Chain A
């Protein structure tokens, strides 16, 4: 009986529990809370107009005008439009330049974890998946998104229309929340169900071409998560469990002995900062990509083994 309870408590131990015990709730959730504030705040800014007549931002994530002065445009959709043979007007070009410039600096997939509304859906699916103990599912390469990205551009070229926009859950959800959702909730539900039952981190981590495009934009971004104190790692695996792109962590965290630097350089990393939260040993922190020497301490520690 007591053994049974013990295994049950083991099973229900969730990621970050150790971190809460070691650092307190706030430090174990800081980046998550900030991220949710960013996602919901951006959504609120878009909704203030249609809901309360407070027009801070007009448009949606494809293109928006903030305070009637700042244009912001999505590079992925404008790239598709360009492939169909249409050259946009000045405002859209300025908007794309600002957006691309921003994500070049902070990391392309910051869009995914700090802005995109679908992240709320897939994070919820992942959390529920963990609570329900759902394991396994379809195996699809995480490179599939780049193939799909190429496909969307090919489709734009062949059909001469923005074909992907007909089914794109990202723009459908954001536009739907602001302009009326219609049947788009079913597409969003499909993404939720995919991530819950079919594939772990299926949409954002394997398939979404919007994320793939932003990932490519941020390939050389200076702002990165760094396993600064990787020698303190106690192999609790919480960061792997919570990370939407766990493949990006392994080498910088574990391969110091092979001369791999501590900076998470993979462009798939969304800079969500959840690994920083859930680590009870404070191994991770935000830093710069340029400070990537495999530290002497790490090498010295590893060599005798």
Chain B
């Protein structure tokens, strides 16, 4: 009886020991793989995911590394990452500088994906966000040097939408215009054609994963002029209207410059919330309502005005 009790104890002891040994060994393996997996979540800047890939975190859970997208890409731009590359092993990517996405209208790579790691809801390639082009080096960009290279702008599949040329004075020559290529994130698909097209030895415009390329406003930030437009009028007291001391018969208006004619009527001018440099986002200057919170200019002259 006593010996059977002893052997049962020994068996239990052995079982606990075996379990602990197994848990320890497998736990070490898990720790190693887990830490490696954490590192592998960081996508290097030059590797761009195919269209419809979503965030890297989601993609690495959804992509089963089958390579169907690679096979169905008619331009053979996609590759599966090898273990020695700093991209999660077996996942698809392309490199803009050597082979950008040709933006097929039927998006065969997305259709080929069996898991939806490339989102099947993406049916308009212009809505894909593979990455975001950034004109990263203004010191070497030929357009910034005052030349008319324009190649990135010309090769952009969404010319005049994803890349526009913004004109400004060339201070160096004093008589020419600089045609600055500007990327608009609300249109850029990250196809990489601009980076591929850039004529420099090393491209001045590059496509990065959106997470690396895009800034983000604080959640609580509000763009004053957008809020004003939404509300249909200023939400804060207008600034003191700028007075220009002009010769008789001359007037100056922001944006329009100098002209001859009577001075503008007070209150019809623009307040400081107006875009300083009217471009794509320029909103027409509306009339400033007089019953604004804070009481407007006259009441702010006194100390008892609400602030």
Q: Which residues of the other chain, A, contact B22 by a CB distance below 8 angstroms?
A: 141, 143-144, 147
Binding site for A on B (CB under 8 A): 18, 22-23, 25-27, 29-30, 33-34, 36-38, 40-41, 57-58, 60-68, 70-72, 79-80, 82-85, 88-90, 113-117, 120
Partner of A84, one of B25, B40, B61, B79: B61
Q: How far is the CB of B241 from chain A (nearest CB, A)?
A: 55
A196 and B287 alpha carbons, distance in the complex (Å) = 85
- Is A183 a contact of B84 with CB atoms below 8 Å? yes
Interface size on A, as a range, is 35 or more
Q: Which residues of the other chain, B, contact A181 by a CB distance below 8 angstroms?
A: 82
Tell me whether A163 and B66 are in contact in the complex, defined as CB-CB below 8 angstroms, given that A71-B114, A85-B61, A143-B22 are known contacts: no
A166 and B89 alpha carbons, distance in the complex (Å) = 5
Segment from A56-64, A239-247, A260-268 that makes contact with B: A56-64
Tell me whether A63 and B66 are in contact in the complex, defined as CB-CB below 8 angstroms, given that A182-B85, A187-B83 are known contacts: yes
- Is A180 a contact of B89 with CB atoms below 8 Å? no
Given contacts A144-B25, A161-B88, 18 further A-B contacts (CB under 8 A): A49-B71, A65-B68, A65-B114, A78-B115, A81-B62, A84-B61, A86-B115, A89-B120, A140-B25, A151-B27, A159-B38, A160-B57, A160-B60, A161-B37, A162-B63, A178-B67, A183-B83, A184-B89
A39 and B30 alpha carbons, distance in the complex (Å) = 30
Q: How far is the CB of A24 from chain B (nearest CB, A)?
A: 43
Binding site for B on A (CB under 8 A): 49, 55, 58-60, 62-65, 71, 73-74, 77-78, 81, 84-89, 91-92, 95, 140-141, 143-144, 147-148, 151, 154-156, 158-167, 171-172, 175-176, 178-184, 186-187
- Is A161 a contact of B61 with CB atoms below 8 Å? yes
- Is A147 a contact of B26 with CB atoms below 8 Å? yes
- Is A165 a contact of B65 with CB atoms below 8 Å? yes
Q: How far is the CB of B91 from chain A (nearest CB, A)?
A: 9
- Is B83 a contact of A184 with CB atoms below 8 Å? yes
A95 and B34 alpha carbons, distance in the complex (Å) = 28
Tell me whether A62 and B26 are in contact in the complex, defined as CB-CB below 8 angstroms, given that A81-B61, A92-B115, A162-B60 are known contacts: no
A-B contact count (CB 8 A): 155
- Is A180 a contact of B90 with CB atoms below 8 Å? no
A171 and B88 alpha carbons, distance in the complex (Å) = 13
- Is B90 a contact of A165 with CB atoms below 8 Å? yes
- Is A172 a contact of B90 with CB atoms below 8 Å? yes
Tell me whether A159 and B37 are in contact in the complex, defined as CB-CB below 8 angstroms, given that A151-B29, A166-B89 are known contacts: yes
- Is B26 a contact of A144 with CB atoms below 8 Å? yes
